[in-house]
Structure 1
């Protein structure tokens, strides 16, 4: 995500004329990242299930940072595409690794918050990135252009952080050197109630089939499509859109920081509401409403007076409210899909569709439709409408599944009412385990 954010800051710092980008070439710089992720996502999931996860993540972060720093050396579209494609390759390990780490370390009721916290870093990156971009935008002379300094600084920071992750982070509770053997066992027992298993390296074909025929897996994947298509476009064009409201480059970099704060508030707010109400899907629906309002106003209000420009800026901010649906759906994958092979297939499906949405997102911003981008915003309205239908469908499905299992338990079926969680570590899927209850 940071690669996309950095490009967005650089888009108004001169990278487009300096590298001679024309037509849809700028859009392709984001799309090529996600096409790469699409190709390597399944092999990545296969590798992640079989290697020490923290060490692998550390290597990927270091490699990613080194490539990001190399962006500063690019002189044309070809160079940029090569660098961005490599960024996609190294970035592809991060999200599936985070989802699997969340399910190994945290209980089901803790996972929604954890997944949201790591997504919240997108907002934090907007804030820190906006400040750094503002500072680098002040550089007007010297051997490197301001956007080149930006990529170098981000890249070097990422490399240092990647080394730290490798040194500090254990691969699983059983590998953590800071705990006694007793504590390690307690950590594993703590997640027994998840009934989603601990890292199990046996591949089960029947679980693959179950994942591909399970409506809820497709529901989560569709949520990813409907949320990533708008986010990747809005993310890579944020600088260009905000600047088109009549702000200077320096003002635009600072205003991007406000967007970061807003994303953090939306994600924290959605987690707080879920914790209070235990309603994941209804919370998602509530957060889609501001996105409808913001997008419709962006399409209808002209940027003539100063107050209209400020109003449009606020509309642009609130459009990103739907982001909470993306993070809550991801946390539901880690809590509602049981069985190690089934979970890895569900995670792969999610990220394949996630990458597809991200790849299409910038392409709906057509260069001849600038600066208002009506076609892009109309497409976004279609995505939000489909998102509402998918969320309502998912809720009906999960409620129905739980009712069926409660009826089994009431009828005296022992497996459906197993308080001791006897089968919790047997690598059963959510459908094979009648004691499993879905969160919605």
Structure 2
């Protein structure tokens, strides 16, 4: 293991790529497209199912409190007023606090170990939630859950960026968000089955946490055998595959860069104004995502449906969201564009919120359709904005810092989302719908801003002379500051 890692790091440190402008294109021509397609299929077959399962479990476990709340948790734990909203919101206190350090430490502690520890840890917390009996116990358990789940997504996104080229990442990050969307569908079906259990000394909502938590712990313990730390240690890759991976890294060298920790890269991330624009866009889209995934069962229930019908109706909504997002991501990777999908899909979501705040619309069918429209853009807005960031920040530790920071700021949205869909505002939830509508408009403005900035910067680099490019390289320009680097649009 150590030999492979040392060889890879030294390979990066030797500045293996000719630094002259245009060198990337010359090396890219050496890649056999047929062999590369076979390699990608092999990576997808071994990496995607594991990461999707991890993400699926994470979203089921963080949002199952919504299913439990409709089945007796609120009364049995003695929650009154807005205490349920407080419990939901406090999850994000620790979730936000630990994201940056866990992301930066991923390489040091190794993905197979760190991710395993996080998954098993939150699985145990979920099992313990099945034994909660008070407001105080729920608060402690949600804080612990937030701590264990905090580093999951930024670590997985960073992990993917070490295996896939920039033009391949939207589809792979989409797999994660499809898993999060499907978690609502599977979570609803699982809740439908488990909530019918009556016996064994526990309430149905308690069995929901206990059974789902045990599933998470069992899967978490298998991760060290399923997830390699890097491509050099991947048992399923042949010698030829690894040679091709090294060649792919040479093509992406500006993007990958030196993987030894440097404080200068951390400072470079925090001084990059483009990062902060993206972070606030993530905050806005996460307000929509968190509010939608956590309170969807409550909103549907408020339309007048019974508990069982409520769980069932969440399923087609999440399946639709997953189908739209995976389609948009595949096309996005194919044409190499991101923002041109994000703005139109956000517009559809906007229409969904507008429908919900019109007082004269009382039809159950129309209001459920409005939720379907909201789901159309929410996951694409969140996921494609993350890919936009990972594609525009380089090298490795600048990107690691950027991803952790984006998720830290983005997940602060939980403090807002947990307080806008108030129990006292049922059944119309006007406040939640209006705030979500405002944040949809806010995100669309920031997506457009990023598009204009990236277009200007790319045009400026296209006009650079060879001499100017060579001067910048000689002065140490690397990563996204390299004159050959192009920002995604």
Residue aligning to 2:458: 402
Residue aligning to 1:152: 210
**Is contact 2:94–2:146 with CA below 8 Å preserved after alignment?**
yes
Correspondent of 1:270 among 328, 344, 363 = 328
Change (3 A) 1:131 1:343: same
Correspondent of 1:118 among 176, 189, 193 = 176
Inter-partner Cα distance in structure 2 for 1:302 and 1:166:
55
Residue aligning to 1:344: 400
Residue aligning to 1:176: 234
**Is contact 1:72–1:147 with CA below 8 Å preserved after alignment?**
yes
Residue aligning to 2:391: 335
- Listed as ranges, the gaps of 5+ residues in structure 2 are 1-58
Residue aligning to 1:310: 365
Inter-partner Cα distance in structure 1 for 2:174 and 2:195:
31
Inter-partner Cα distance in structure 1 for 2:166 and 2:477:
16
Residue aligning to 2:484: 435
Q: Report the CA distance between 1:239 and its aligned residue.
A: 1.1
Change (3 A) 1:52 1:276: closer
Q: Report the CA distance between 1:347 and its aligned residue.
A: 1.0
TM-score by length of 1: 0.92
Q: Report the CA distance between 1:161 and its aligned residue.
A: 1.2
Inter-partner Cα distance in structure 2 for 1:7 and 1:285:
31
Count of aligned pairs between the two proteins? 429
The answer to whether structure 1 residue 214 and structure 2 residue 272 are counterparts is yes
Inter-partner Cα distance in structure 1 for 2:257 and 2:79:
48
**Is contact 2:182–2:322 with CA below 8 Å preserved after alignment?**
yes
Q: Secondary structure at the match of 1:282?
A: helix
Inter-partner Cα distance in structure 2 for 1:199 and 1:173:
16
Q: Report the CA distance between 1:266 and its aligned residue.
A: 2.1
Q: Secondary structure at the match of 1:386?
A: helix
Residue aligning to 1:376: 432
Q: Report the CA distance between 1:273 and its aligned residue.
A: 3.4
| Greater shift in the superposed pair: 115-124 or 134-143 | 134-143
Correspondent of 1:282 among 312, 330, 340 = 340
Q: Report the CA distance between 1:185 and its aligned residue.
A: 3.4
- Listed as ranges, the gaps of 5+ residues in structure 1 are none
Residue aligning to 1:196: 255
Q: Secondary structure at the match of 2:71?
A: coil
Correspondent of 1:387 among 420, 443, 464 = 443
The answer to whether structure 1 residue 19 and structure 2 residue 81 are counterparts is no
The answer to whether structure 1 residue 51 and structure 2 residue 148 are counterparts is no
Q: Secondary structure at the match of 1:279?
A: coil
Deviations 1:240-273 (A, max 9, x none): 1101111110001111111220121121122133
Deviations 1:355-382 (A, max 9, x none): 2012321112233322212112111111
**Is contact 1:68–1:87 with CA below 8 Å preserved after alignment?**
yes
**Is contact 2:168–2:333 with CA below 8 Å preserved after alignment?**
no
Inter-partner Cα distance in structure 1 for 2:257 and 2:269:
18
Q: Report the CA distance between 1:191 and its aligned residue.
A: 3.1
**Is contact 1:13–1:147 with CA below 8 Å preserved after alignment?**
yes
The answer to whether structure 1 residue 356 and structure 2 residue 412 are counterparts is yes
**Is contact 1:196–1:427 with CA below 8 Å preserved after alignment?**
no
Inter-partner Cα distance in structure 1 for 2:228 and 2:200:
43
TM-score by length of 2: 0.83
Inter-partner Cα distance in structure 2 for 1:41 and 1:152:
26
Alignment root-mean-square deviation, CA: 2.2
Q: Report the CA distance between 1:64 and its aligned residue.
A: 1.2
Q: Report the CA distance between 1:417 and its aligned residue.
A: 12
Residue aligning to 1:70: 128
Inter-partner Cα distance in structure 2 for 1:2 and 1:111:
24
